[in-house]
Amino acid sequence: MHKFEQMFRLDGRVALVAGSASGIGRAAAQGLAAAGATTICADLNGAGAQNVAAEIRDAGGRAEGLVLDITDQQGVDATVSQIIAEHQHIHVLVSTPAVNVRKPLLSYTGDDFDKVIRLNLKGSFLIAQAVARTMSEKGRGSIILLSSIRSITVEPGQGVYAATKAGLVQMARALAAELGGAGVRVNCIAPGVVETPLTEPIKSKPEWYQAYANKNALKRWASADEMAGPIVFLASDASSYVTGTVLFVDGGWTAIDGRFQPPL
């Protein structure tokens, strides 16, 4: 097989996907497995992770499911050690878990703030740190963190969420700078509006849902499956010289003004 025919393949590699029970995490796990990776489906919802792993196996892929709380440092370290003991390496990490407390900033409580920061930023840091240590020892790896269009553009009610997504970008850049010499690449995916369980409340409000669709160039929402291709790209050798960057998968949301369609 010519090298350009296999550059998107992940045969022989092990991918850990945190938050894989639903949404973008589920699509990422399925996409990585379809590209040939042995995929470890991890989620706080252990039954959901097992179900996704079973779906992958039913489709002919290799996968297993496990329970993981990325905010639990001891649990994260133990899970990474367990995977290394069984598979010798983690070649790819995708971390997707996130939460939003949708409130004006002046209404935020300290507990609200801690809840969003603890999962979105600290949890992502803990799992990236643990996996990066073993990747550095092995001299190879790709870490993909899930940022958002909210890293650069925000609306009322998403201030702290947006701050975490911007923070993830800078953390990924710092990791890329520190780990590049060890052969580890670190990048962010920044989705736009994606139909997932997290955005289900918006879908139930037609005016709100359509306003978001109209804001981007493609005039529609993305499916979670549309995130799988960019994730496989960043996981594979097709992106071997890509690190410290943000790949916006937003239908053109951040590229256009969107307030008015001038007559041309």
Sheet strand arrangement including 141-146: 62-67, 38-43, 14-18, 92-95, 141-146, 184-191, 246-249
Place of tokens 């493609």: 218
Residues 6+ positions from 174 with CB-CB distance below 8 Å: none
183 neighbors 198 (Cβ within 8 angstroms) = no
3-class secondary-structure state, position 205? coil
Residues 6+ positions from 63 with CB-CB distance below 8 Å: 29, 33, 38, 39, 40, 41, 52, 53, 54, 56, 57
Give the residue numbers annotated as catalytic, written as ranges: 161
